[in-house]
Amino acid sequence: MKFTDWATRVLLISLMFAALIVVLLIGRGTKLQNNPTTLKPQVTARSQYPQAQFQSAKEPEKKSQDVIKSPVKTNKPVARYVTTQAFAQYKPNYQVVSVDPSNYGERYATGINSEPLKNQPIIVLHETGYSASSAINFFQVAHDDENVQASYHALIKLDGTVVYLVPPQKRAFGASNSVFDGSQGVETVKTNPSLPPSVNNFAYHVSLETPPDGYDSSSQETHSGYTEAEYNSLAWLIAQSQVPDDRITTHHLVDRSGKKVDPINFDGNKFLSLLNTYRQVKPIYRVNK
């Protein structure tokens, strides 16, 4: 065999092996892409609303919390809330429950007149009116009537169990015909031409379970209030947010229908004391660049 023929055959065999290796590598890469167990979890940007913290968390996730941003570059301190050791030590039971999609929606970036919506978040406190299970059952039923649709982002049971319902990045239907009257003035958003304006687009709704003696009650005399576990779990949940104390309100205060009085017998001072136990303000210094 001539040397040139031998060299040609060796070259062809080498090219065949190289092509085979390339095919095997491409096939392996395709298999990895199609195998969901090998994919990295999608990173979701955290908002200023409370975030779900589950029992596996041993320490407060300080690094994951959002900063209260200054509108301009400055060397003056701005601040953020960080959770405390008391927060890390308190581990309430929790449940994650699905809600029918008819009972919540997206948060809008613009109003019905295409105006940009830039409201800072608020937290609205409610009570269920009846048992926690009755509220959850209602949220899990599809409702075509927009006047009936309702939901909370989270619910606190009598025993302190935290029930996560609607993700914080979504718009829960917790307060129709509502207005927040804060330090920046009157705030409300109209996102549906056929419904009154409300705070839902920038609100996080969380409800306390009503005690049995408070069913059908609108009177402080016949309503015993909420358990220690409810207050602790509520403060623990809200401690995960960057919402300041003066933007935490109640359904009664934001309601403009004149019908909502909840949460009845709510001890605001007790709640704020616990909240300040579970989170603290940490100043952050920024330097002009």
Checking if the pLDDT of 31 tops 70, the result is no
Per-residue confidence band for 33, with pLDDT thresholds at 50, 70 and 90? very low
pLDDT single digits (tens) 179-238 = 999 998 999 999 999 999 999 999 999 999 999 999 987 778 889 999 999 999 999 999
Per-residue confidence band for 64, with pLDDT thresholds at 50, 70 and 90? very low
Per-residue confidence band for 263, with pLDDT thresholds at 50, 70 and 90? very high
User: 113-118 long-range CB contacts below 8 Å, 24 or more apart?
Assistant: 117/189, 117/201, 117/202
Q: How far apart are CA 174 and CA 207, in angstroms?
A: 9
pLDDT single digits (tens) 97-111 = 999 999 999 999 999
How is residue 109 annotated by DSSP? S
pLDDT score, position 80: 93
pLDDT score, position 70: 34
Checking if the pLDDT of 72 tops 70, the result is no
Report which of 154, 146, 138, 49 is spatially closest to residue 105, judged by C-alpha positions: 146
**CA geometry: angle 257, 259, 260, nearest 5 deg:** 100
Higher pLDDT among residues 17 and 35, named by residue: 17
Contact 149, 174 (CB under 8 A): no
The tally of CA atoms less than 13 A away on the side-chain side of residue 41 is: 3
Per-residue confidence band for 43, with pLDDT thresholds at 50, 70 and 90? very low
Is the pTM higher than 0.85? Answer: no
Q: How far apart are CA 285 and CA 224, in angstroms?
A: 45
Phi, psi of 236 (to 5 degrees): -60, -45
Checking if the pLDDT of 18 tops 70, the result is no
Range in 57-66, 70-79, 205-214 with the lowest mean pLDDT: 57-66
Ranges of each domain in the chain = 3-38, 62-285
pLDDT single digits (tens) 158-178 = 999 999 999 999 999 999 999
**What is the rounded average pLDDT of the residues 27-37?**
40
Beta strands in 62-202 (DSSP E): 77-83, 94-96, 104-106, 122-127, 154-156, 162-164, 170-172, 180-182, 185-187
Share of the chain above pLDDT 70, in %: 72
At the topology level of CATH, where does 62-285 sit? Lysozyme-like (3.40.80)
**CA geometry: angle 264, 254, 235, nearest 5 deg:** 55
Checking if the pLDDT of 4 tops 70, the result is no
